[in-house]
Amino acid sequence: MSDEETPQGAGVPRLPRAGDDKYTRGVVGVRTGSDAYPGAAVLGVEAAWRTGVGMVRYVGSERAASLVLQRRPETVVGPGRVQAWVIGSGTDAATRPAEETAALRDILAGSIPVVVDAGALDLAPEAAAPVLVTPHAREHDVLRERLGLAPVPRDADDDARADAARATARALGGAVLLKGAVTILASPRGDAERVSAGTPWLATAGTGDVLAGCLGALVASAATVTAPDADALARIGVIGATLHGRAAALAAEELGPQGGPITALDVADALPRAVAEALAG
């Protein structure tokens, strides 16, 4: 993907420059996972590293942090400066401790862009920070209810899903990535783009956590150039969903002409090849 082909304001993916260091390549903070679902933290951190970023900083439960370090010892555990956040994967709003809710609200009240997934989606309507929310259909309906919008019919076609995602983005004032076999990216100004899944084999547990980590890395990389607003986050979302789908296709293609069963970590492992393809144009 050349500079001319990269959506304006996205700046991702990009080749590292000779003068880059780990900070100028982007630092993403990942506050995901829980004692019940620690794997989400591992998957998101893995995907962030594999997408290409200078540093991943993990903040979360002790159990999840231990598993993250076993898989990716280069990860920095603990609070510190970041250029983008990923929050919510592998957590449940119904069982979230009060102190964790307060910490997530602090993140959303700031100016650093945030990828909001799963168990943090309930807090997204409060956000002052630029946000990219990543709901699946059921989560989208819950988010829309919080925004005073009607649920989307279960039999809605992709045109209706795109219209709904646009309305959600406008009401939220943030970018919406509505997951599905066709993923919809909508911005507050009313744009909507569609990204088809790279392969049906992508429909497996944990791949959403991989997508969130990939998106976080891309947002952090973009933030080294200019602070992305909600419209820029929607454009970055298109790139992230495309890379995620291509990585899944690459992983499945290794197993034969019809593809074959892949896991979320297989998708994360294939992300560097998907990024390299994009950079090569």
Q: Domain range holding 139?
A: 27-196+203-280
Phi and psi torsions of 134, nearest 5°: -130, 60
Long-range contacts of 275-281 (CB under 8 A, 24+ apart): 275/13, 275/51, 275/52, 275/243, 277/246, 278/1, 278/13, 278/239, 278/242, 278/243, 278/246, 279/1, 279/13, 279/14, 279/15, 281/1, 281/2, 281/5
| 102: enclosing H helix or E strand | helix 98-108
Q: Assign residue 250 the CATH number of its domain.
A: 3.40.1190.20
On whether residue 142 sits in a domain, the answer given is yes
The string of pLDDT tens digits covering residues 180-236 is 999 999 999 999 999 999 899 999 999 999 999 999 999 999 999 999 999 999 999
**pTM (2 d.p.):** 0.95
Number of domains forming the structure of the chain = 1
Q: Quick check: is 1 in a domain? A: no
4 assigned to some structural domain = no
Which amino acid type is present at position 261? Answer: P
Residue 55 Cα distances to 22, 66, 123, 130, 189, angstroms: 6, 17, 26, 21, 32
- The helix (run of H) or strand (run of E) holding residue 250 is helix 230-253
Q: Could you tell me if residue 210 is inside a domain?
A: yes
Residues of the chain with pLDDT under 70: 1-11
